[in-house]
Amino acid sequence: MTHSCRVSHQYFVKQIKMNMQYDGPTKLFINGEFVESKSGKRFKVIQPSTEKTICEVSEADLQDVNDAVDAAEEALSGKWKTMGATGRRDVLLRLADLWEKESEELAKLESFNNGSPINLSMYITKDLVNEWRYNAGWADKIEGRVVQSCKNDLHVYTRREPIGVCGMIVPWNLPLWCLVVKLAPCLAMGNTVVVKPSELTPLTALKLAEMFTRVGLPRGVYNVVPGYGPTAGAAIASHMRIRKVAFTGSTLIGRTVMEAAAKSNLKIVQLELGGKSPMVVFPDVDVEEAVKLSQFAVFNNNGQLCTAGSRTFVHSKIYDEFVQKASKAMSQHVVGDPMDPKNTLGPLINKVQLQKVNKYIQTGKQEGAKLLGGGDEYKGQGYFVNPTVFANVKPDMTIAKEEIFGPVQSIIKFDDEKTVIKLCNESEYGLAAAVLTNDIGTVFRLSSSLQAGTVWVNTYHETLAQGEFGGYKQSGIGREGGPSGVEGWTLCKTVIVKSKL
């Protein structure tokens, strides 16, 4: 979600062997130490491009989450508190410096574990240095305010304080990005944390634990409990001593997290959920460039992005030309080993996701959409799917309504601005949207009318640490990034002082 379509496919790296060996941590990280789970159970981590086992990782459940919360509570009132805001700032800045030095290794591990194209992982991982530094800078700059009272003998002021022990449940599609945009402001504001990475992609969260020990993060501030959603994830969402939970994933599971939070201790909930993002293409643009951007919007990260621009609305004046060029542009996408920078698409995360995407493709054919390219199953090892483009898609077709989470583009014709705004906003999702036009009036009308947390104009997938990111409607609650994203990890306290008793 932080990648520009202008980045060259050859920008960062030479080819990396797909069968690289993993020799990093595989245990839980609790109270500053790597430890086995109480049950002794372990689970396999599979490389999606080869279907081979990378390693086995300790599997956390309720007992381990309890231990992690104990450690986080102790750290919250201990050294993490006494070192103060400038101390927290300095730890995070040291982490940012180390991250910058090791960003290439982190990116390789990310692509190795989840199948993201290596150039994308390199770009995102390097860019996350800015996320650490931006949020570290906030640590000693959060201020309260003096409140004017109508009573002369009262002095009233507010202060921002940490929420407490926080939980994070992180997905598999962009594990590092989804973790850091939560973790950096959370720690900067003085909280401690228990993180459950996806059981499919736990390796970079564990690598970060190792890095934190090298920069002097106090024991217990950052804890990692790899495991499954119904056990470790549920334990975090329902834990009585966790005061906030941040989750990125599907809308369905987001509801489950919110329900567990409500039924336990009414913990604060931050959700970044699904999307079915529209891109609206007006007839005053360069059609060839619009086609390239539209396919980047949906094919980036193998189509496995919650912001994927999978609904492409094209004005009737240029629709036929757009469709023709979209069909031709398909040949420029290369599917294969994600560690090879020449390839633009890697594998889907696992066999379940592969079967789900292929089922949507078959549904698109059955409901009468015109297949321009792709749609055939990829032959060979790994969970690969060929990028697929449908034309003549109607707004009520399944592929135009449901989140596919794969490289499947639906091209939909529209005639007028009022109609396309209505079509875009009919979705229960509202994470992102895009407008392609050179008319400034159209830009302002569409950007204010589209119900989405982010509206891109003549670009896509751009984010920055200083800007808020989050959804409307069923795409989420709360914001990541910017001042709002920082403040969301604090509680506001009002202090009322009377001059004398």
Instruction: Enumerate the CATH 3.40.605.10 domain ranges in the chain, comma separated.
Output: 37-273+475-495
Given a cut of 60, whether residue 11 has pLDDT beyond it is no
Model pLDDT for residues 49-68, shown as the tens digit of each residue: 999 999 999 999 999 999 99
Packing angle, helices 84-114 and 203-214, rounded to 10: 150
Please name the residues in contact with 297: beta carbons below 8 A apart, sequence gap of 6 or more.
277, 279, 308, 309, 312, 434, 460, 461
SS3 assignment for 243-310? CEEEEECCHHHHHHHHHHHHHCCCCEEEEECCCCCEEEECCCCCHHHHHHHHHHHHHHHHHCCCCCCC
pTM above 0.85, yes or no: yes
pLDDT at residue 13, as a whole number = 36
CA dihedral (297, 298, 303, 307) positive or negative: positive
- CB half-sphere exposure, 319, CA atoms < 13 A: 17
Model pLDDT for residues 71-103, shown as the tens digit of each residue: 999 999 999 999 999 999 999 999 999 999 999
Closest C-alpha to 378, from 390, 389, 386, 367: 386
Over residues 293-315, the mean pLDDT reads 98
Q: Which of 59, 110, 199, 272 is catalytic?
A: 272
Over residues 472-498, the mean pLDDT reads 97
Instruction: Enumerate the CATH 3.40.309.10 domain ranges in the chain, comma separated.
Output: 278-464
Long-range contacts of 20-24 (CB under 8 A, 24+ apart): 20/108, 20/112, 20/339, 22/54, 22/55, 22/109, 22/112, 22/203, 24/109, 24/203, 24/206, 24/207, 24/210
- CB half-sphere exposure, 82, CA atoms < 13 A: 6
Given a cut of 70, whether residue 10 has pLDDT beyond it is no
Mean pLDDT of the chain: 95
Share of the chain above pLDDT 70, in %: 96
What is the band of 19 on the pLDDT scale with cuts at 50, 70, 90?
Answer: low
Over residues 323-332, the mean pLDDT reads 94
What single string gives the DSSP state of each residue in 108-144?
A: HHHHHHH---HHHHHHHHHHHHHHHHHHHHHTTT---
Over residues 480-493, the mean pLDDT reads 97
Residue recorded with tokens 């015109």 = 370
Given a cut of 90, whether residue 375 has pLDDT beyond it is no
Architecture of domain 278-464: 3-Layer(aba) Sandwich (3.40)
For the chain, the 3-state helix, strand and coil shares in percent, each to the nearest 5, are 40, 20, 40
What is the band of 379 on the pLDDT scale with cuts at 50, 70, 90?
Answer: confident
Closest C-alpha to 307, from 178, 405, 181, 408: 405
Domain 37-273+475-495 has CATH 3.50.30.30: no
Given a cut of 60, whether residue 431 has pLDDT beyond it is yes
Check if 272 is active-site. Answer: yes
CB of 255 closer than 8 Å to CB of 476 = no
Edge-to-edge strand order for the sheet containing 311-315?
Answer: 370-373, 388-391, 408-414, 311-315, 278-281, 432-436, 454-457
Residue recorded with tokens 């297949």 = 371
